[in-house]
Amino acid sequence: MSPSGSPFEAVYTYVLNPKSITMGQLYGEFDLLTDGILPSMVRIGASAEDLNKRWYVFDGPVDAVWIENMNTVLDDNKKLCLTSGEIIKLTSSMTLMFEVADLAVASPATVSRCGMVYIEPSVLGLLPFINCWIRRLPKLAKGHGEAFQELFSRYLLPGVELLRSRLKEIVASVDSAIVLSFLKLLDSFLAPLTMKDNRPPPSAKFLKLMPQLIPIWVIFSLVWSVGATCNANSQAIFSNWLIEIMTANNEEPPFPQNSQAYDYRFHDGGFTMATPSGEPEPPMWVHWMTGVPEYRILIDSKYSDIEVPTINSVRNAELLGMLLINENNVLCVGPTGTGKTLTDLIDSKLDKRRRGVYGPPVLKRLALFIDDFNMPALEVYGAQPPIELIRQWMDFGGWYDRQNIGDFRTLIDLNFVAAMGPPGGGRNPITPRLLRHFHFLAFTEMDDDCKVGAKMIFSTILGSWLTHTSLPEDYVDYTLKASLNVYSTVIKELLPTPAKTHYTFNLRDLSKVFQGIFMTVPEDVPTFIVYLHLWFHENCRVFEDRMVNDKDRAWFQALLHRQMVEDFHVEPNQVLSQEPILFADFIQPDFRRYSMVTDLHTMLNVLNNYLAEYNATSTAPMNLVLFYDAMSHISRICRIIRQPQGNALLLGMGGSGA
């Protein structure tokens, strides 16, 4: 019983993530006479005249960087000693609590001073989340609670079990977070029933569609929550399992024959978006590419501005829009800091709504995109302050003001979209306590769908370019097949090692091959022989220039020769010139056309003329002797610099000229 006689005690909670701020912000700084967030909160409790309970919750990793200063608080003295010399005595009604994921880096001195409460994840289970969601169904959907419950038992729970037993995730998830993602996605389909923003509910004729729509909603949400964290092989397993279960239960409508569940969205008959006639239509599965107009490339289009729609890009864009509209945070995961800067950046985009509350302009939402989400380096004890700062907003809706110490800034109407590569290979893992707040979208590696998408993109671009040459259209298929085979072989065989850490390749490298081809003017590629030289040269520039020894370069040359035989049906020795193959854009200074170098002596004279012109106007002339390797490197660097977003990294031993 409380001191006032009430059967319940009043409890004031003060929540703080100690790893989202610096030590100076946490405890204060004596040199700058700056107060700390923790002392400002503790003084409030120490000076309070009432006997109400006050809990100080430290929700974040416990390590020796900050916890050692708390030893005098945790023992019988209960005194907070600050660097300024101030000592704050805690009262008997003040309690310190620590909420952590683990005690891997906590010292024995800290552990021995605290009582422990450990909650096994299996104790809670998944049913409480499901039951809570069903109790919160909109009024117009209350009558379908049993149908949802039955479908969850049929699809959701077995799906999570399949995920844990047979499937491989790109980023590890926890069961509760997967189920919450599933339920949030399901909420987006029930949004018309909530009558949010005074919107009228669907009419009775559309409400009659709900018994048909509910199974489709559940299946679609299952695919893009439980099945959205897997790699390509696991997605195929999940799709086959789901289609088998649907067939066994005679679900209507079924997926089309010989297809994957990931290839289709559903048309809900006008429940969420009005039909042209305004009347209900039969629900059905629709391929993601249905209704996408054919992409046409304008003759003056820049390569970097071309965006050919594929099933992957269309699908991910629609899913991302659906999730953001319904106020979900999204984490895009695929193969491919400091908290102060992050705080200032986000705060600069927000307006003050009222005292202590900040957000974007009224009636708008702000979507913040964070790339390389797992880039922040780990501290000595494994914490990532920028990650903890974002988690503090996810859990508590804001963070503490760095100017007005002790004031909490509540941030509203925000959504985070993040992108990162899978942990490993120099990329750090992220605490599951943050990942649970995100809905995962997995961008799979070079699977069959990705190859189809790549073929669609590059065939569209290459076909447009070839129409301005005298070459036949068959070369589009030849080039695509050869380029994809070269890329697939390189990523399988040339793996990064400690001596070759830069042997990392992705689809951007494949795109660079075609970008190099399109740097030429079609009129400068009059014959098949010149075209083969161009294709050979661009592959060498993108892939071979990254190789560090003659063995790897010889292997790559043999690979190109093999693909020329298999895909272009020509003998390399008969079509490739014996001289080194080079393309450059400085042979004709007046035109700067990227074309094949047919005479190395001409190239040498041109470069010497450039050098003489530079020496005539420079106060620091360079007396260089241009040999073949130097000329070759100059042409490569010029090629990179000419490309939009072209960046070069020169690797070499000291004294080698790099």
Reply yes or no on whether the pLDDT at 277 is more than 90.
no
Residue 466's pLDDT is: 82
CATH of the domain at 430: 3.40.50.300
Q: Which of 179-183, 422-426, 489-493, 542-546 has the lowest mean pLDDT?
A: 422-426
Residue 357, amino acid: V
Q: Which of 282-296, 443-457, 483-497 has the lowest mean pLDDT?
A: 443-457
Nearest to 233 by CA among 488, 450, 494: 450
Dihedral over alpha carbons 405, 407, 412, 418 (to 10 degrees)? 30
Reply yes or no on whether the pLDDT at 483 is more than 60.
yes
* Same-domain status, 633 and 572: yes
Q: Which of 95-104, 301-310, 497-506 has the lowest mean pLDDT?
A: 301-310
Question: What's the total number of domains in the chain?
Answer: 4
Of 410, 442, 474, the last residue of a domain is 442
Residue 425's pLDDT is: 67
Q: In 3-state terms, the chain is what percent helix, strand and coil (to 5)? A: 45, 15, 40
CATH of the domain at 498: 1.20.920.30
* pLDDT tens digits for range 256-268: 887 889 999 888 8
Q: Taking the CA of residue 266 as centre, how many other CA atoms within 13 Å lie in the half-sphere pointing to its CB?
A: 26
Residue 69's pLDDT is: 84
Which of residues 489 and 310 earns the better pLDDT score? 489
Residue 533's pLDDT is: 93
- Evaluated on CA atoms 613, 616, 620, 623, the torsion sign reads positive
Element (H, E) at 414: strand 414-420
Whether residue 406 contacts residue 40, with contact meaning beta carbons closer than 8 Å, is answered with: yes
| Domain membership flag for residue 296 | no
* Same-domain status, 525 and 589: yes
* Same-domain status, 475 and 603: yes
* Same-domain status, 407 and 455: no
Residue 339's pLDDT is: 46
For residue 291, the SS3 value is coil
Per-residue H/E/C for 65-78: HHHHHHHHHHCCCC
* pLDDT tens digits for range 204-236: 888 888 888 899 999 999 999 999 988 888 999
542: Cβ–Cβ under 8 A, 6 or more apart, which residues? 509, 512, 513, 516
DSSP-assigned letter for residue 152: I
Nearest to 214 by CA among 126, 161, 283, 315: 283
Residue 380's pLDDT is: 82
pLDDT band per the 50, 70, 90 thresholds, residue 131 = very high
| Domain membership flag for residue 649 | no
* Same-domain status, 611 and 634: yes
* Same-domain status, 136 and 282: yes
pLDDT band per the 50, 70, 90 thresholds, residue 135 = very high
Angle at 167 between CA 163 and CA 173, to 5 degrees: 55
Q: Which of 268-277, 287-296, 518-527 has the lowest mean pLDDT?
A: 268-277
Residue 4's pLDDT is: 59
* Same-domain status, 270 and 333: no
Which of residues 398 and 347 earns the better pLDDT score? 398
CATH of the domain at 199: 1.10.472
Cα–Cα distance for residue pair 654/190, rounded to 1 Å: 64
Give percent of the chain above pLDDT 70. Answer: 93
Reply yes or no on whether the pLDDT at 50 is more than 90.
no
Reply yes or no on whether the pLDDT at 157 is more than 90.
yes
Reply yes or no on whether the pLDDT at 111 is more than 90.
no
* Same-domain status, 139 and 278: yes
Question: What mean pLDDT is predicted for residues 484-489?
Answer: 92
Reply yes or no on whether the pLDDT at 448 is more than 60.
no
Domain containing 70 equals: 11-118
Reply yes or no on whether the pLDDT at 449 is more than 70.
no
| Domain membership flag for residue 658 | no
Of 118, 152, 174, the last residue of a domain is 118
* pLDDT tens digits for range 594-623: 888 888 899 999 999 999 999 998 888 888
Question: What mean pLDDT is predicted for residues 51-72?
Answer: 88
Q: Find the largest Cα–Cα distance for the chain.
A: 100
Residue 337's pLDDT is: 40
| Domain membership flag for residue 239 | yes
* Same-domain status, 263 and 142: yes
Reply yes or no on whether the pLDDT at 341 is more than 90.
no
* Same-domain status, 279 and 240: yes
Cα–Cα distance for residue pair 613/284, rounded to 1 Å: 70
Of 92, 118, 144, the last residue of a domain is 118
Question: What mean pLDDT is predicted for residues 29-34?
Answer: 71
| Domain membership flag for residue 651 | no
Both structure tokens of 444: 């799979």
Which of residues 571 and 279 earns the better pLDDT score? 571
| Domain membership flag for residue 301 | no
Question: What mean pLDDT is predicted for residues 2-31?
Answer: 80
Cα–Cα distance for residue pair 230/164, rounded to 1 Å: 11
Task: Spell 401-440 as b/e; 16+ CB within 10 A means b.
Answer: bbeebbebbbbebbbbbbbbbbeeeeebebbebbbbbbbb
pLDDT band per the 50, 70, 90 thresholds, residue 657 = low
**CA-atom Rg of the chain in angstroms:** 31
Question: What mean pLDDT is predicted for residues 445-454?
Answer: 61
| Average pLDDT score over the chain | 85
Task: Spell 23-34 as b/e; 16+ CB within 10 A means b.
Answer: eebbbbbeeeee
* Same-domain status, 558 and 621: yes
Both structure tokens of 282: 């039969």
| Domain membership flag for residue 294 | no
- Evaluated on CA atoms 117, 118, 119, 123, the torsion sign reads negative
Reply yes or no on whether the pLDDT at 172 is more than 60.
yes
* Same-domain status, 196 and 262: yes
Reply yes or no on whether the pLDDT at 34 is more than 80.
no
Residue 338's pLDDT is: 37
| Domain membership flag for residue 295 | no
Residue 545's pLDDT is: 92
Question: What mean pLDDT is predicted for residues 438-450?
Answer: 72
Q: How far apart are the first and last CA of the chain?
A: 77
